[in-house]
Structure 1
Amino acid sequence: MINTISIKKELESSNSQESKYFSFFFYYNGIPLESTEKESHALWGMTLLKAGSMRFRWNETNENRTESLKKIFPDKKITPLELIHSKTVFEAKDEGDTEKLQGDGIVTKNPLLIPTVTVADCLPIFLYDHEKKAIGAFHSGWKGTGIVGAGVEKMIELYGSKRENISAAIGPHIGDCCYFVDQERAEYFVKNFGKKCVTKAGDKFMLSLTEANLSVLKNAGIKEENIVVARDCTCCTKFENGENIFGSFRRQAAFLPPEVDADTRSRSMTVQAAFVTLN
C-alpha cells in the first residue's frame, strides 16, 4: 500500500505555516525512516512560496536562492543542474561535479552534497537506498516522465543498490484537479504509463503525473510500501486562511498572453528548490 501525506496538514498541525521550506521522511515497509542515535536517514523536501523564487541558471546569479539554501544547509553544498526536461541523470561525487551540466536528475553517496532541482508545478521525485546510503533528486515534467526509472537504474549501476531497498518520495506538484491536457498528450500518457494517468471530464482530459510516476516506479521494481506521495497540488492547495502554499506556473504565469516571451513568463512564477539530504 502506497503511503500518502499532506504537506499542508503537516505544516498546519505543527504551527509551521510561516516556514519557508519543509522536509520529510522516506518510508520503508510502510514505516517512516526516522533518524535515531544508532542510524541516520535521508530527508526530502522543498522550499515554499514564502521563500521566494529559487530560479537557477548557470549564467545567472540568484542571491535569494543562495542565501536561503545556505540557511537551510549551512554545513553542506548545494548540487544543482540547469534543467532541460530530459531523462538525463548525473552522478555527483564531489562539489562542482555538476557545474555547467544540463539535465534533470542527480544521484550521490556523498553526505556533504545536496542534490537540488527546481520545480513550479512539475513533479519533484526523490530516491533513497538506506543500505547503500545513496540518494537522488529528479525533476519530472511531462516530457521527462520516466526519469526516476533512469535514476533507479543509475543507483543500481553505480552503487549496487537493490530495488527492494530503494525508497521513493513524490513531492507536491500540479494535480489532475488543475492539469488539463489535450487529447494528443492524454493518449501519449495512456499509451506509455497506463489508463490510470488520465481521467476524461466532458471534453477535457485531466492528467495525473502522480499515477504516471507510480507506473514508472512499479516497472522499476520499487515496492508500494516503500513509496510516499504528497497529496498537495501546487496550483490550488491553500492554508485554511486562503493563503497559497506553493509556487505554480499555471496559477502565476500560464494566463499571460502568448506574445509574452518565455523568459518573462518563467520569471513570473515562484520556482521552488526541491532537495534530498543524507543526515
Structure 2
Amino acid sequence: MTALETLHLIPTVFQPFRNVTAAESTRHGGVSPLPFASLNVGLNTADAPENVQENRRRFFASLAIDPEQVVSSHQVHQDRILKVTEPGRFEGYDALITNRPDHFLTVTVADCTPILIYDAGQKAVAAIHAGWRGTVARIVEKTVAAMQEQFGTQPADCYAYVGTCIDLCSFEVGNEVADQFDKAYKQFDPAQQKFRIDLKAANVAQLAKAGLPMGQIGISPYSTVLHNLDFYSYRAGNGTTGRMLAVIGIRSAE
C-alpha cells in the first residue's frame, strides 16, 4: 500500500471553485491485473476492455460524473484543438475547450503532461495533452489563444494545473529531440551523453507567456517514473502499461 492509495487527486488550484470538477487519476482502486494494475483507464491498451470500462466507471463515479457527459479524443501528439459542443469521443485532437456546463473534458496520459485550465471570468475550461511534440508545437499557448478567440477569455482570469508526468531526471532524449527545446528546459548529462527535458517547466512557461499569473498555476509534485507505484509510466513500463485520465468540467447551477 502506498501513500496515494486513492483513485484520484484533486488539484488544489481549483479547490476554491465549487462549480469546477477537476482531477487526475492514479493507478489505484481498479480491477486490472498486471502489468496494468490496477486503475487502467486507457481505451487503447492491451488490457481487457471490460476491465478498462469498469475502471473508468469507478473513476467517474468517484467524482460524481455521468459518463454520458464525458468528452475525449484519440490523441495524436499534434496541436489540433477542438471546441466541444457535445459529449462523445473524437479523433485527432490533443486539446479540448468548452464553455458548456456539464461537459467534462478528458486527456489520457502515461508520461506526457496533462494541463487543465479554468477561465473563471467567462466560465470556460480546457484539457490539454502535451508530450514533447505537443510542447514543442506550443499547444498550451495555442489553446489559451483559442479560448480567447472562442470565449473572450482573459488570461488573467485563468487558473491552470500542470499535472503528473515524466520528470526532468527521468526524461532522457537524443539530440534530435533536445535541439527543439530552449536551453532553459534541458540539461546535458555527460555520463549518459544525453539531454534531459523538463516538460513541466516548459509548459508552465507557455502558460505564463500566454498571460496567466504564476500564482494561478498549480504544478503536480509527482512524477510518473519516480512515483511509478502510484502513476503509470510508458517509459518505466517499457511500453506496456496502463493510462491515467485528467478531467475538468463546470457543473451547471442546478
Aligned match of 2:23: 45
Tell me, in whole angstroms, the C-alpha distance in 2 between the residues paired with 1:226 and 1:21.
21
- 1:229 deviates by 0.8
Unaligned runs of 5+ in 2: 31-38
- The alignment partner of 1:71 has SS state of helix
Q: Look up the equivalent residue of 1:55 and give its one-letter code.
A: G
* 1:164-191 Cα deviation digits (max 9, x unpaired): 111111001000110111122112112x
Aligned match of 1:199: 187
Alignment of 1:156-171 (within 5 A): 156-171=148-163
- 1:73 deviates by 4.1
Tell me, in whole angstroms, the C-alpha distance in 2 between the residues paired with 1:70 and 1:122.
21
Tell me, in whole angstroms, the C-alpha distance in 2 between the residues paired with 1:206 and 1:95.
38
Tell me, in whole angstroms, the C-alpha distance in 1 between the residues paired with 2:108 and 2:202.
20
Tell me, in whole angstroms, the C-alpha distance in 2 between the residues paired with 1:170 and 1:91.
21
Tell me, in whole angstroms, the C-alpha distance in 2 between the residues paired with 1:124 and 1:175.
13
Aligned match of 1:222: 212
Change (3 A) 1:49 1:129: same
Aligned match of 1:211: 201
- The alignment partner of 2:101 has SS state of coil
Question: Are 1:25 and 1:44, in contact at CA under 8 Å, matched by a contact in 2?
Answer: no
Question: Are 1:42 and 1:135, in contact at CA under 8 Å, matched by a contact in 2?
Answer: no
From 74, 98, 116, the equivalent of 1:126 is: 116
* 1:70-129 Cα deviation digits (max 9, x unpaired): 413445311111110011111112223xx3422111111222111001000000001111
- The alignment partner of 2:142 has SS state of helix
From 105, 108, 112, the equivalent of 2:98 is: 108
Tell me, in whole angstroms, the C-alpha distance in 2 between the residues paired with 1:226 and 1:163.
10
Aligned match of 1:273: 245
Tell me, in whole angstroms, the C-alpha distance in 1 between the residues paired with 2:74 and 2:227.
27
- Aligned-CA RMSD value: 2.0
TM-score of the pair, normalised by structure 1:
0.76
Tell me, in whole angstroms, the C-alpha distance in 1 between the residues paired with 2:58 and 2:6.
12
Asked if 1:250 corresponds to 2:235, the answer is: yes
Aligned match of 1:25: 12
Question: Are 2:11 and 2:218, in contact at CA under 8 Å, matched by a contact in 1?
Answer: no
TM-score of the pair, normalised by structure 2:
0.83
Asked if 1:86 corresponds to 2:103, the answer is: no
Aligned match of 1:150: 142
Alignment of 1:171-186 (within 5 A): 171-186=163-178
* 1:137-176 Cα deviation digits (max 9, x unpaired): 1100111112111110111111111111111110010001
* 1:233-276 Cα deviation digits (max 9, x unpaired): 111126xxxxx1101011112xxxxxxxxxxx4xx211111111
Q: How many residue pairs end up in the alignment?
A: 230
Change (3 A) 1:208 1:121: same
- The alignment partner of 1:87 has SS state of coil
Tell me, in whole angstroms, the C-alpha distance in 2 between the residues paired with 1:229 and 1:74.
24
